[in-house]
């Protein structure tokens, strides 16, 4: 569920409450959430007593820097939420863990499907316990290192669909199903176009579209279809601003054609068949 704009919104809403605070207690209601160390007691022992330096983000990973140089990492996957509050009596349905801070506030980890989890890697950058996906993650799409040339290099010679390539976090960090569909529509590219088929001008369009939809998503504090909330429990408003995702059967805002839904890269995919024509048959000029 949460993609880069949603995770960034959680980061921004949690940071003022967490930074400078010391962890005084960690409890797990579901031990599966402790991804590393996998023993909840050991996880708690490694987090209790630490002070939060900064709440950061890399792709869809929340990286919470601690005063011992290590970090506490959270990945929300499909249905995870982090909720900060001051009510010790509060208990959300599907609450899986609680981290209590030294001002008596708490951060609850809530996850209906239990696909997400928390990591407390051994010390040192990329120490044991660092989630595998964080190693080899592609560039931050809103950072200076993500350029049209970098994107072009990652699309070149690829037979896979541009949708599958963009969903791969090694290509660029933080895109998920919603923002990929939105970016492809904005760039007027059919999701089944192969990476190798994209001409330089199309790659530049895609690069700009990716940035634009993510910036808009952050500004709207993310998409809240069902479960997503920010760190203080508020829904985002990006769901009302989507142009293709969730709009199958409705008219394209750009051309009036009916938005269709198909399965691409194993995912439900919405696109406009007129704005996003299928791949040209001829090989691209170089």
The residue whose two tokens read 């696909």 is 115
- Residue 273 touches DNA, criterion: CB under 7 A: no
Token pair recorded at residue 171: 């290509």
- Residue 153 touches DNA, criterion: CB under 7 A: no
Query: Cα torsion at 9, 13, 18, 23 (round to 10°)?
Result: -70
Considering only 124, 268, 277, 280, the residue that binds DNA (CB under 7 A) is 268
Q: Any idea which residues carry the catalytic annotation?
A: 2-3, 60, 267
- Residue 161 touches DNA, criterion: CB under 7 A: yes
- Residue 9 touches DNA, criterion: CB under 7 A: no
Please classify residue 278 by burial: count the beta carbons closer than 10 Å to its beta carbon, then call 0-12 exposed, 13-18 middle and 19+ buried: exposed
Kindly identify the residues of this chain, within the stretch 16-35, that bind DNA according to CB under 7 A.
32
- Residue 58 touches DNA, criterion: CB under 7 A: no
Single out the residue of 52, 119, 115 nearest to residue 84, CA to CA. Answer: 52
Q: How many residues bind DNA (CB under 7 A)?
A: 41
Please classify residue 135 by burial: count the beta carbons closer than 10 Å to its beta carbon, then call 0-12 exposed, 13-18 middle and 19+ buried: exposed
Q: Binding pattern to DNA, positions 187-226, x when CB under 7 A?
A: --------x--------------------------xxxxx
- Residue 178 touches DNA, criterion: CB under 7 A: yes
Single out the residue of 46, 43, 35 nearest to residue 114, CA to CA. Answer: 35
- 286 Cβ neighbours under 8 A, 6+ residues apart: none
- Residue 132 touches DNA, criterion: CB under 7 A: yes
- Shortest distance, CB of residue 2 to DNA, whole angstroms? 6
Phi, psi of 162 (to 5 degrees): -60, -30
Considering only 204, 241, 267, 274, the residue that binds DNA (CB under 7 A) is 267
Interface residues toward DNA, by CB under 7 A: 1-3, 6, 32, 59-60, 75, 77-78, 94, 112-115, 131-133, 158-161, 164, 167, 169, 175-178, 195, 222-228, 265-268
């Amino acid at each position: 569920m949460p993609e880069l704009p949603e995770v960034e919104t959680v980061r921004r809403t949690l940071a003022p409450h967490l930074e400078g605070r010391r962890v005084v207690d960690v409890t797990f209601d579901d031990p599966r959430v402790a991804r590393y160390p996998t023993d909840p007691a050991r996880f708690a022992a490694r987090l209790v007593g630490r002070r939060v330096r900064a709440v950061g983000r890399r792709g869809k990973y929340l990286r919470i820097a601690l005063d011992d140089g290590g970090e506490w990492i959270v990945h929300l996957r499909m249905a995870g939420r982090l909720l900060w509050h001051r009510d010790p009596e509060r208990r959300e349905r599907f609450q899986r863990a609680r981290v209590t801070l030294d001002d008596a506030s708490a951060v609850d980890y809530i996850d209906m499907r239990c696909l997400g989890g928390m990591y407390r890697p051994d010390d040192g950058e990329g120490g044991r316990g660092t989630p595998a996906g964080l190693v080899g993650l592609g560039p931050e799409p809103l950072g200076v290192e993500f350029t049209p040339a970098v994107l072009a290099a990652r699309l070149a010679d690829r037979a896979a669909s541009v949708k599958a390539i963009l969903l791969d976090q090694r290509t660029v960090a933080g895109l998920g199903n919603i923002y990929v569909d939105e970016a492809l529509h904005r760039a007027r590219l059919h999701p089944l176009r192969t990476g190798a088929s994209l001409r330089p001008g199309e790659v530049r369009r895609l690069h700009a579209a990716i940035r634009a939809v993510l910036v808009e998503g952050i500004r709207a504090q993310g998409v809240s279809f069902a479960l997503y909330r920010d760190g203080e429990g508020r829904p985002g408003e990006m769901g009302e601003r989507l142009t293709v995702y969730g709009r199958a059967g409705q008219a394209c805002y750009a051309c009036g054609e009916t938005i269709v839904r198909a399965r691409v890269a194993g995912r439900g995919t919405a696109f406009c068949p007129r704005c996003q024509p299928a791949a040209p048959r001829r090989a691209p000029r170089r």
